[in-house]
Structure 1
Amino acid sequence: MKVVIVFNHPYEGSYCNAILNSVTGGLQQANHDIDIINLDKEGFNPVMTSQDLKAFRDKQPVDPKVIEYKNRLEKADHVVFIFPIWWELMPALMKGFIDKVIFPGVAYDYVDGSNTKMKPLLTNIKGVTVITTMNTPSILYRIIFGNAIQKAVIRGTFWKLGYKNRKWISFTMVKQASDEKRKMWLTKIEKTFNKEELFK
């Protein structure tokens, strides 16, 4: 299976980077093929320009990185997103990836001339997994902030595109967690990505 990982965290000593290592370790043990899109290292511009908006209308991307990412996603069976939650949402690079790559003519089109009902174009992708870290307690994130990632990404983006296999793995209160607990989480995530059940 080919797994594309879309990663966003600028600090190499971050817990997100440790998660990335555990995910890739589990996938390698299961002999999956891995392609890592590291947004912080690949010179991706997250800003939607006037040219990009014209491209949105025309359904023809013009950003060379978007075209590159389209080609890489066309080879994927499963996509994993890894990023921190800052101020209840994803960082700018990840938001820009969703804005510019989950794009008409790239990731989806509209059904029968409709401007509302979508159909995925990347039909090779069978599932999406989102992994996030944050320092907010999970109960506050759900009750006070309304599970923003669940609503915006899991449902707001990938449910609308029709992907049925959608998973969100959320690590909360990371800064407050003990080293022992963090290591336990990393071991668990490695085992998770060494199992076929994740991709069903």
Structure 2
Amino acid sequence: MRTVIVFNHPYELSYCNAILHAVTKGLKNAYHEVDLMHLDNDGFNPAMSSEDLKAFVAHKPIDPQVIDYNQRLEKADHLIFIFPIWWDQMPAMTKGFIDRVLSPGVVYDHHPRGFGLVPLLKNLKSITIITTMNKPKLLYSLFMGNLIKKAVLRSVFKTMGYKNLNWINFTSVKSVSQEKRVKWLDNLENRFSKNR
């Protein structure tokens, strides 16, 4: 199995990085080949230029980095996003990845009858979003309406026709105990050790 991880956090000592290590360890225990797209370390540019937009419309990406990411996505059996929730939404690089890399002709296409979208990543069996935030779960759910679930899982991947979508959200990260944070990491490692 080949799992692509799209990771976005600029601080190497962040809890997101600890999550990345736990997930990667679990996947390797399950004999997955892990392909890491570290957006920060890769220097990914999230901004869509006019040339990018023309290429997007033509279904022919021109940015070598976008083309490379596209080719790696085509080989993925599983796709995992790991990022922090800032101001109730995803960071700019993650949003830019969705805008620039999840492109028509590669990740999805328009239905031939003109209604809806068709998924093109034929190997892809599941998509998991793993996030961290400092807000309490109830506050994010009641007042913000679980924006990540709506914006990423439903609006992006469900609309494209992908199934087996999961969201793991760690809330109140700064205020919980170190013991709880360690337990979360252990649970993640165990969960992905069973991922087949």
Q: TM-score, normalised by structure 1?
A: 0.96
Q: CA deviation at 1:102?
A: 1.1
3-state SS of paired residue (1:112): coil
Partner of residue 55, structure 1:
55
Q: Deviation per CA, 1:169-190: give whole Å up to 9, x if none.
A: 0000001011101000000000
Q: Is 1:61–1:106's contact at 8 Å kept on the other side of the alignment?
A: no
Identity of aligned residues (%): 57
Partner of residue 156, structure 2:
157
The CA distance in 2 between the partners of 1:33 and 1:56, in whole Å, is: 29
Partner of residue 175, structure 2:
176
Number of residue equivalences: 196
Partner of residue 99, structure 1:
99
Partner of residue 67, structure 2:
67
Q: Which amino acid aligns with 2:174?
A: K
The CA distance in 1 between the partners of 2:133 and 2:23, in whole Å, is: 18
Q: CA deviation at 1:113?
A: 5.4
Partner of residue 146, structure 2:
147
Q: Deviation per CA, 1:31-74: give whole Å up to 9, x if none.
A: 11111000001121100000111112111111111100011111
The CA distance in 1 between the partners of 2:152 and 2:61, in whole Å, is: 21
Q: Which amino acid aligns with 1:123?
A: K
Structure 1 position 121 matched with structure 2 position 120: yes
Question: Structure 1 runs of 4+ off > 3 angstroms?
Answer: none
Q: Deviation per CA, 1:10-29: give whole Å up to 9, x if none.
A: 00000000000000010111
Tell me, which stretches of 5 or more residues in structure 2 are unaligned? none
| Cα RMSD (Å) | 1.0
Partner of residue 76, structure 2:
76
Q: Is 1:61–1:105's contact at 8 Å kept on the other side of the alignment?
A: no
3-state SS of paired residue (1:105): coil
3-state SS of paired residue (1:97): helix
3-state SS of paired residue (1:180): helix
Q: CA deviation at 1:125?
A: 0.8
Q: TM-score, normalised by structure 2?
A: 0.97
Tell me, which stretches of 5 or more residues in structure 1 are unaligned? none
Q: Which amino acid aligns with 2:81?
A: F
Partner of residue 7, structure 1:
7
Q: Which amino acid aligns with 2:162?
A: Y
The CA distance in 1 between the partners of 2:49 and 2:109, in whole Å, is: 21
